[in-house]
Structure 1
Amino acid sequence: MIIDCHAHLVPPSLLDAVRAQAASFPSIKLMEDGGFSFAGGKPTRPVSKPLSDITARLKWMDEQKIERQVVGGWLDMFGYEVPAEEGARWSRLINAHLAQAAKSEPRFVPLASVPLQDGAAAAEVLREAHAAGFKGAMIGTQPKGKGGVLDDPSLKPFWEAANELGSVIFIHPVFESGDDRVHDYGMANAVGRITDTLIAMSRLIYAGHVVRYANAKIVAGIGGAALPYVIGRLRRNYLLDREKLGDPDAALAAMYYDTIVQDPRALRYLADIAGSDRIMMGSDMPFPIGDLTPMTVVKDAGFSASEAAAMNGGLAEKLFLK
């Protein structure tokens, strides 16, 4: 089975529900151009048509010979800035419509959203999602808004729940990378998503979370960002203060990765560092910065037939479908 492990979907029914239930979400404003503002903050980008065009998505999947697609929501609209109770309602609304989309079109495999602004609420929503059939959640790198960290002590209940449930936790960069220097030349996508993910994952590694919560299946998106390339520096830093820091080699060996590196040499290097058995084919559909012919890089990297089969669906089937 060919499975795309990394894509995004905003079901059309969700947008209709947002308009109909606006009074239930006083901190969330749907802008005239189709974007959102959370707690009076900077508006997001508009929801693009490809995020919600299910017919076009299925056509693309057919063209790429992709049988199933793992879909999280859209990171811009996760709303970590709003009050916790409202955020929990918001995540539940997103999850209900993702679940309905997957029920209507079984080729989609949904990942839940959780209210990371509050660890206890995030744990509760994650448990509800598992009870509803979700295998895990897609979470952003910066809970509580710009500058938030995934190793925040208040998130302990969430990580404990993910560990207990054996959740797949797909970690994904957010709209604001945390560095204003990347907002020119298209660098927010080319570079900002990488640095954002690298910093978030490095904190989780050094905090010991990856090993401590080893039953949670942590996926580091965008091919692990720059983690494989900087493993030497991460290791050296660990050796300088190993009594206080988590082991980066153990963490990289325990995580999972997608193939969205756009260069077969980079994919081979990721496999050399983390192991080919930890990598899953992904597209980041429908975003142009993703890989819209995602099996090509696996083919061009020259993996064996068994390695390629595992990357193109075998591993994802174990994580998301069993």
Structure 2
Amino acid sequence: MSVTESSTPTTGNTVTNTDASLLSDPAVESTYRNINDVQLHVVTAGDPDAPLVVLLHGHPDFWYGWRNQIRALVKADFRVVVPDQRGCNLSDAPDGIDAYRQSKLVADVRELIRSEGRESAHIIGHDFGGFVAWNVALRHPSMVDRLGIFNVPHPTVYRDTLRSSPQQIARSWYVWFYQVPKLPEWMLARKDMANMVDSLEITSNPGTFDEETITWYKSAWRHTGIRPRINWYRGFRRSDSPPRDTVTQPTLICWGEDDIALLPSVAEKSVDYCDDGRLQMFPDASHWVHHERDEVSEALCRHLS
């Protein structure tokens, strides 16, 4: 595994300004790291010797979704590392579904931690990035100091709820739709990705994503196209279950109660799979709770400190 730092990726893709320059902060930098034969775009900030925090975005997000937490964590004296996960924004998008199994995404996080010269880190995940965070903690517990999860259930809870709850099956309709070959890519890419924009606006409170922010998101989606993001869900269906159910690390679960895709009960059940877990519910907040409530960053800093 090698690490490269530069101002542009070494791929032949055209570079858009969806790198760290979006924050207009010279202390926040873009790097490009060759990890597991994939080049990842990684945004970094904070003292390189400070405690390490890795932030993992979900779908249809990219590193920029963590901008509020980057500022808060650096102010609280943490080193922050935020990858565009494989298939997203300025990172490479390998072909095929198997490249997006949980084992691959987890291996990326493991090697990213090592690229910082560390053996472990605090891991925080939202949405699909939360599934990756859960899996890192369950598959490689010694590499996770503390765990933070935003609006995604423990993998066992999600699986069991899908088997038993017609309500959750209905809310997860898109997961089944994404398994269909080719059609989801066509549906999400048509009309200048109008359905992708809808997925942001429908699942969030009014005003969470303003016009400028949506412009950045559309630029990020164009860079790799839609298929790699859909392959996250196809790869998830092909992934092996983690080797254990219980998370041993201190775990904070922050949950926007108005999440339209997930039942609130899955948040409560997920705490039962944590030896040292705490759930903080946020009324009147959506699936994008870390965008909408400053208290999330405050709770996260307290948890990690």
Higher relative contact order (CA 8 A, sep 6+): 2
Q: TM-score, normalised by structure 2?
A: 0.38
Larger radius of gyration: 1
Give the TM-score of the pair, scaled to structure 1: 0.36
Q: Which has the higher helix share?
A: 1
Q: Which has the higher strand share?
A: 2
